[in-house]
Structure 1
Amino acid sequence: MNYKFDPVASAGQGACLAVLLCLALSGCSREPVNAVSNVTPAATVESVPDRNVITVTNPERFTLAEAVARHESDQTLANGVVAADVSRSYAVNSLSSGRVVEVRARLGDDVQKGQVLLTMTSPDMSQAFADYQKFKADAALAKTQLDRAQLLYSHGATAQKDLELAEDTYHKANIDTRTAEEHIRLLGGDPQHVSPLIEIHAPVSGTITEQNVTSAAGVKSLDNSPNLFTIADLSNVWILCDAYENDLGRVHLGDRAEIELNAYPDRRLTGRVTNISKLLDPSTRAAKVRIELPNAAGILRPNMFATVHFVSRGTETRTVIPSSAVLRLQDRDWVFVKLNGPRFRRTEVQAGPVNADKTQQIIGGLRPGDQVVTTALMFDREVQKSTEQ
């Protein structure tokens, strides 16, 4: 066979071979490229400082306290005021009208039973003495007539009915006389000493907590005018406070209550819950709670403000630290826990109620044995100052 060289065909075959060669080379180089692209770069670790760890100079400046575990009762706080026991409060009034001559006692005075509080003149007393004198004269006349009737009857000179009539008149005259005497005593006078003056006496011993009378003032009897005086026995007093609806389930009759007074912040008093109102105030959603406690020292005065800690009967173990060690910031509670050396950690805790001894229960975030700064607010201020500098 004879082969002829065709230049056009040879050129076409060369082009096809070139394309196939390129495809083959590209197929061979694809796998190494993918292998390189799938390699994961090495991770780099950067240490970020803990912003809650604080280093201070001279840490000995700050007092530390150890968190301790204690059996604590649930406590509910309420604000209250001191009030007189209404069963030991007595109104002083006059049963006769008149005008005040002299006031012998003043608001706030301590008085004894029977002490004269004021004197006054009274037309009612004058009329009572006039009636008493009249009835006394009638009784004397009736006695004379009775003696005469008895004498005549003994001699048969009068009928029995006349004697009985004289006896009846005499008995009625005596009744009128005794009634007039009681009227004088009721008005504050003495039947044996005729005088238009009336003395108003203290019915009990106690303290004058209200006064609505002055010298030369007019006095009306048995009307709606206020009491002349109110005397209260303050040897036992009440604390009246509001327990909100959400707290009523934790307040019970007979519960112990610890009271702190604004006037005596270092003294703690103890009383008992004796009454819980059955009605809620619709505006405050709170019920009145009454606490009774003795006041032998006399330091409790009506209308004093008080803080009441209601202590429930059940107990549970709680971590306790000084209340000054808790810092309240933006509705969150924090403490500063001592670490090694001059370092402290700011730790968020779940704070519970404050006890009457100025300690605070910690429900979570702190363990017994941890050392905390007792003056958290001062510590935080020092940290802020150093940060600004």
Structure 2
Amino acid sequence: MKKSKYILMILAAGIFSNCADKEKDAQPKGTENFCLKENFKEKVTLESVKKEKVLENIHLTGNVEADPNKVFQFESLVNGMVVNTHFSLGDEVTKGQVLAELKSSELSSLQAELATLNAQIKVFERRLRSTEELFNDGVSSERDVLEVQSELESLKAEKEKVGNNLELYSASTQKGVFLIKAPASGHITSKSINKGEQISDDSGVLFTISEVDHVWVMANVYATNINEIKTGMKVQISSVSYPDLSFDGTISLIPKVLDEETKVMKARIILDNANGFLKPGMLVDIIAQKQLDASEVALTTKDVVFSNNEYFVLVYQSDCDVEIRKVEILASNDETLYIKNGIKEREQIISGNQLLVFEQLKNF
């Protein structure tokens, strides 16, 4: 009898022990026997979670262009041969600077015409004085005087026209060439003129000068993004030429039609370019920031732990109550993650060295 009673007591102890073990296993993982040590707590940062308006990034591509209102194209008005050039593509030039010299037979013709007109003017000036004297003596009529005056004024008008043409072509009588001068200050953005080349008045654009203190960035807006891109949206612009730089701007104009060649809508962004980093023709990446009506919990990429293709945060209640919690991402941009669910506003999280805490908690 005593032996049976002893066996029952052993069985009961085993059952209670097994239940205790199961109860121990049922406790939430990451909450038992873990506490932030005082010396390590100084190395982590606690942050209270806040809600923010959701900013969604929309990626676009584009290119840099000079402001068309500040682009000056030069076309030759005369025929001739280029005897010298004084500029290269990309050079900065000032208004009136001599860029090229052009030898042309038209210069000789204009100079000869000017000399002939000067001689004729002198003849008619003498004739006018003589006619006026005869008129005063009653020998000539007033009509005779007016006819000579009219002819003299016509010659002077023709001389002024020839002189204006010579000035327009910046003729150098000493060198016997036309001097092609910069019509404005800026940078040479195209050049199709070289020493020894024969040009004519139908040769097209010889060079282009563009002012690039302000440039246009033309963003390619494809059909899938047309409803999302709006005037006034903030954008960030980057280029592989400057991997550590970004340029902030605002979409200033969205046309009502698609570009005929590319079949995309070209949104315009005007940027200050006083430092000259952005060059016409440069390809750029554009991030347009779309603000949604919703407000959600916002975390930085440094606040979360990415493990097994999932995002986690460490929710802090006390030094001995830290929970690993999975969160779901609603939207994101370069530095901010907007949380759909998994954490509430004003909860505290561990930010900074959270990966070390995460690894320790996984072992409990």
| TM-score in same-fold range (> 0.5) | yes
Matches within 5 A, 1:214-293: 214-221=194-201, 223=202, 225-280=203-258, 286-293=264-271
In structure 2, the CA distance between the partners of 1:151 and 1:243, relative to structure 1 (3 Å rule), is same
Task: Give the stretch that moved more between structures: 311-320 or 243-252.
Answer: 311-320
The residue identity in structure 1 corresponding to 2:52 is H
Task: Please give the per-residue CA displacement for 1:258-302, whole angstroms capped at 9, x wherever unaligned.
Answer: 323333343332222121121236897642111011111221122
In structure 2, the CA distance between the partners of 1:98 and 1:282, relative to structure 1 (3 Å rule), is closer
Percent identity between the two aligned chains:
24
Q: Which residue of 2 aligns with 1:25?
A: none
| Partners of 2:343 and 2:140 in 1: CA distance | 110
> Under a length normalisation based on structure 2, what TM-score does the superposition of the two structures give?
0.73
Computing the radius of gyration from Cα coordinates, the structure with the larger value is 1
Number of paired residues? 324
| Partners of 1:305 and 1:328 in 2: CA distance | 36
Task: Please give the per-residue CA displacement for 1:22-58, whole angstroms capped at 9, x wherever unaligned.
Answer: xxxxxxxxxxxxxxxxxxxxxxx9x99x9xxxxxxxx
| Partners of 1:155 and 1:161 in 2: CA distance | 15
| Partners of 2:263 and 2:340 in 1: CA distance | 27
Name the one with the larger strand percent: 2
| Partners of 1:74 and 1:285 in 2: CA distance | 28
Aligned-pair distance for 1:248?
2.5
**C-alpha contact (below 8 Å) 1:117/1:201 kept by paired residues:** yes
Counterpart among 299, 309, 314 of residue 277 in structure 2: 299
| Partners of 1:99 and 1:337 in 2: CA distance | 75
**C-alpha contact (below 8 Å) 1:67/1:367 kept by paired residues:** no
Q: Which residue of 1 aligns with 2:139?
A: 157
Matches within 5 A, 1:1-389: 68-75=49-56, 76-189=58-171, 193=173, 196-221=176-201, 223=202, 225-280=203-258, 286-312=264-290, 316-323=294-301, 334-338=310-314, 347=326, 349-355=328-334, 358-365=335-342, 367=344, 369-371=348-350
| Partners of 1:130 and 1:227 in 2: CA distance | 29
Aligned-pair distance for 1:230?
0.9
> Under a length normalisation based on structure 1, what TM-score does the superposition of the two structures give?
0.69
**C-alpha contact (below 8 Å) 1:336/1:373 kept by paired residues:** no
In structure 2, the CA distance between the partners of 1:287 and 1:334, relative to structure 1 (3 Å rule), is farther
Task: Please give the per-residue CA displacement for 1:126-180, whole angstroms capped at 9, x wherever unaligned.
Answer: 2111211111111111111111111222222333332222222211111111111
Q: Which residue of 2 aligns with 1:53?
A: none
Q: Which has the higher contact order (CA 8 A, sep 6+)?
A: 2
Where do 5+ consecutive residues of structure 2 fail to align?
1-21, 29-39, 360-364
Aligned-pair Cα RMSD in Å: 4.2
| Partners of 2:162 and 2:325 in 1: CA distance | 85
In structure 2, the CA distance between the partners of 1:269 and 1:348, relative to structure 1 (3 Å rule), is same
| Partners of 1:172 and 1:293 in 2: CA distance | 52
Q: Secondary structure at the match of 2:76?
A: coil
Task: Please give the per-residue CA displacement for 1:229-265, whole angstroms capped at 9, x wherever unaligned.
Answer: 1111111011111223333233222333232333334
